[in-house]
Structures are given as structure tokens and as C-alpha cells.
Chain A
Amino acid sequence: GAVVSQHPSWVICKSGTSVKIECRSLDFQATTMFWYRQFPKQSLMLMATSNEGSKATYEQGVEKDKFLINHASLTLSTLTVTSAHPEDSSFYICSAEDRGYGSYEQYFGPGTRLTVT
């Protein structure tokens, strides 16, 4: 099946610094990637939809200036958490959509645990 990698798997940073998370589709081209966030005991919440070569579409309530998304190629999307604060500590996970067979199936990375101290 399709493989999506995510790096790093965990990161600890100090308040006020920025953190970049990478999401790569390893064996297929993904024109669309998604970024989700999960708080403890809650469901995966979509933050933004990232389309290759265009601006990301953010969900209501997600600050686009705080969570910068770049989708510069068909296999790579990045999420940068700028000026991170402790309340940004969470689990971030990406997915890449494979529309090759019209199924709109999403393949997920393993996620990144961010802790802001």
C-alpha cells in the first residue's frame, strides 16, 4: 500500500521557537495533503488542506499565520508551528490523498508529538 512518512516523530521545543514538521508520500504523488491535530481523548481534527502549488485551505478557528503550510512538490508538505506556546503541544498527523483510482483514499503518516516547554 501507499506509504507516508512524517518527520520528526517527536519534538520538544522552547516557547517562542518555531518547529517544522515534514510529510512525504514515498511511493505515490499526492496533489492533496491534509494536516490534522489530536488532543487527548479527542478525534482527529482537520487543521488544513494543502494543495500542491497553491495556498492551503484552513479550517475555521485555525490561525494560518501560526500554522504555516507549504506544499511545494507532489511528495512533500510541511507544517511550521511558528512562535510555539505550551498550548500548541499536541499530536500532529498528516495524510496524503491518492486519487489514482477515484477512491479518494487518504494514507496517513505516523504523526508527530510536539511538546512546547
Chain B
Amino acid sequence: ILNVEQSPQSLHVQEGDSTNFTCSFPSSNFYALHWYRWETAKSPEALFVMTLNGDEKKKGRISATLNTKEGYSYLYIKGSQPEDSATYLCAFYTGTASKLTFGTGTRLQVTL
């Protein structure tokens, strides 16, 4: 059974704060690491698909890094805004199983 862990479970920050959260995954049989943003009552939205050790990806104020050797990825949000409030999910994709295994997510709340 693959274990994907995310921390913290929830986070409450003020507008303008920068924040980051962690996704830990098995370092063996790695194929890809996916990040999703999931707002209430909406579909999870794909943020990044990361495949190479040392990858860094950026989308606006959100960026992510990947370390496949030690099995972790960080998601950073710079200058958080209320619209960033959502649950951020990471999912580990192993080529051998051809499926995503999700973490439980980090729920971010940004207040004014």
C-alpha cells in the first residue's frame, strides 16, 4: 500500500502571507507527482505535474519543487490571497500501477 502524506492538515494565514506545505511519497517506482487545487463545490484543478528530480514549476504566485530521491515535494504560495483558499492535494503516480494515490490534502484558509 502506497502512503502519501501531506502536512499540515490545515493552515490559516492572513492575506499577504507566504506559505508552504509538504507532500511526502515513496521514493521507489516514481513516475510523477501531481498537485491539485480543490475549491469547495468545484472540480479539483490540476496545478502541476512533476516528473524530474529537482523540478521546479511555477504558475503565477504558486510554485512547487520536487525531490524524488528523498520522496518529497513542496508547494509554495507567495503573497496569499483569499481566492487561494482551497484544499491542496498531491498525488503520486507510479508507472507500474498506472494510477494516482492521493494524500489527504492541506486545507488553506486565507483571511483579510
Contact = CB atoms under 8 A, between A and B. Distances in A.
Interface of A: 1, 4, 34, 36, 41-46, 49, 93, 103-111
A16 B43 CA distance: 29
B32 to A, nearest CB: 7
Contacts of B4: 43
A108 B43 contact: yes
B51 to A, nearest CB: 9
B95 to A, nearest CB: 9
A41 B104 CA distance: 7
Given A104-B93, A106-B34, A46 B100 contact: yes
Contacts of A105: 34, 46, 49
B44 interface: yes
A49 B99 CA distance: 8
A108 B38 CA distance: 10
B75 interface: no
B66 interface: no
Top 5 A-B pairs, shortest CB-CB distance: A43-B102, A44-B102, A108-B44, A43-B104, A108-B43
A88 B104 CA distance: 20
Nearest to A111: B43
B42 A110 contact: yes
B41 interface: yes
A1 B103 CA distance: 24
A109 B43 contact: yes
Nearest to A49: B99
A34 B102 contact: no
A43 B105 contact: yes
B89 interface: yes
A80 to B, nearest CB: 21
